[in-house]
Chains A and B, each alone.
Chain A
């Protein structure tokens, strides 16, 4: 016979009340686990989608000078000592510490050419990378698959008066129009897209790049770190984060997370109240019993240990049940909450241990006053027989 025998036997005797308390606490924990897991799963998905939706890091050649343009109107500029980016150097990007966070690296070469008597901006891209980066692109036709094919922006196609299937000449070479972009409202509308190697050859920039757009997954890694890591690998390039894009995304996700934490706080408060009220009721029911314990020589600390041990058992049980129910709830709710059916449920060990710890902590904290109250009961008052 030890103190824990008293606790366990009491829990076994008061099955209904303890089951009510355990279930009540477990429901609270399950709610929190569901909220946090859904938030994490959906955030992760939203983050990935947002990060893949366009570039958030720009790599341009290092130049000493200031660009003189404003609101899309270029007034020229003075540049000197401009270094170009070598295409062969781009492989270094995959060697940075956070290379796993890189979703796409899309190099580009640009230059002006004459087509059908008009000056147009020719851009050479890797179409597979470009399409991954620019998921908002909608194509009439399809992207070029061969060197003799090109893609036109909507404004460029209108200006050149061509349709899909027509052919155009660039520096004596014939190219077939395989696709036309639906209007994007960006500068892409006025561009002519060919494969990177073709543009490099036509523009006399073989092996060289004008700029690189990078889509970095910010989840788990501050974008600033990635910018520094890439800059270290490409010392002749200027690497910068598109701050507006990054901050906007983080703000939206932050608001979402704060909401789920606020809801969790409400649930924690209600759960604590349930535990407190039930444990106080239990102590009041056991007044005589506690009087006997004190009369036969139990110290106040012994009484507290009995009560708190009961609370700990309930807390642990509720934590386990709550975590299981919470993950089950998240699994059921996720397909309805997330747009894509492929959104994966986040299994986080931190949430598992956190929910156990929270449940245990809640049960103990909410039972602290009832335990103190029980330990301070006057034995003679408690017994009323002496």
Chain B
């Protein structure tokens, strides 16, 4: 059984009197421990796809199963609980809480857990160490560089040891050198066993992933692969990445 199974996924938005089809019925599977990039031009539906996979956006049609659980069949706040325990998010603008220190930002997902305070600090410290940011725990986000903020965001996403790490354009706001460092970091995390699903518009980032899902107009158009040419011509049948 694949870690993520997507079947006939569709998402529509109302835009005034018009209906916009952001996703038009896509199918794919993602295995445990893989590093998958999702590529597409602006308006292709890649951010919508990530939000649906992450349990943040109810699809108009279709199912998303993660570890055998139908995500959107979960009742009420169980979906929030599932996100808390199973998924980690790295946002494009890092979205660190400005009035919390680096350590407190990393501990944020643990604020609703029943762990003891010292255990929370230990877990957060370990997460920061894994992303190479030891020694700057007490700094506020505005005292950190872009790369450091990115590392804090990744550590926050990792602190609960999620099954899947979702990242939305994590290098979008970074300079090329720092972006490179971040991609190496994601690769290293994946090498250590972390499943990573990353949205990116930078073709160079695809070189770090196992496979790339190409989206165009809400449909998957090519399997892609690490360093392989992209095929935008034909929709792909359900496949495993």
A interface list, Cβ under 8 A from B: 1-3, 5-6, 9-10, 12-13, 288-289, 291-302, 379-380, 383, 385-386
Contacts and interface: CB of A to CB of B under 8 A. Distances in A.
B80 A1 contact: no
Interface residues of B, number: 38
A176 B87 CA distance: 107
Nearest to A385: B92
Contact of A386 (B81, B98, B157, B168): B168
Question: Which 8 pairs across A and B sit closest by C-beta, in order of nearness?
Answer: A297-B84, A13-B99, A1-B107, A386-B51, A297-B83, A299-B77, A385-B92, A296-B109
Contacts of B59: none
A1 B47 contact: no
B89 interface: yes
A13 B111 contact: no
18 contacts: A1-B107, A1-B110, A1-B111, A1-B124, A2-B111, A292-B97, A295-B54, A295-B83, A296-B156, A297-B83, A297-B112, A298-B112, A300-B77, A385-B93, A385-B95, A385-B169, A386-B51, A386-B91
A296 B98 contact: no
A379 B166 CA distance: 15
B168 A5 contact: no
Nearest to A303: B80
Interface of B: 47, 50-51, 54, 56-57, 77, 80-85, 87-89, 91-93, 95, 97-100, 104, 107-112, 117, 120, 124, 156-157, 168-169
Given A380-B56, A385-B47, A294 B80 contact: yes
Given A9-B99, A292-B91, A385-B92, A299 B111 contact: no
Nearest to A8: B99
A297 B109 contact: yes
B51 A380 contact: yes
Contacts of B91: 292, 295, 383, 385-386
A13 B98 CA distance: 9
A294 B80 CA distance: 7
Given A288-B95, A385-B91, A385-B168, A297 B80 contact: yes
B104 A5 contact: yes
Contacts of A289: 95, 97
Contacts of A292: 91, 95, 97, 108
A288 B120 CA distance: 24
Nearest to A4: B111
A1 B56 contact: no
Given A296-B109, A297-B112, A298-B112, A386 B156 contact: no
A302 B112 contact: yes
Contact of B104 (A1, A3, A386): A1
Contacts of B50: 386
A298 B99 contact: no
A6 B107 CA distance: 11
Given A1-B111, A1-B120, A383-B95, A297 B81 contact: yes
Contacts of A299: 77, 80-81, 112
A10 B108 CA distance: 14
Given A295-B56, A301-B77, 16 more contacts: A1-B111, A3-B112, A6-B111, A12-B99, A289-B95, A296-B83, A296-B156, A296-B157, A297-B84, A298-B112, A299-B112, A380-B56, A383-B95, A385-B169, A386-B50, A386-B54
Contacts of A9: 99-100, 104
A310 to B, nearest CB: 12
A11 to B, nearest CB: 9
Contacts of A297: 80-85, 87, 109, 112
Q: From A13, A302, A380, name the one whose CB has the most chain B CB atoms within 10 angstroms.
A: A380
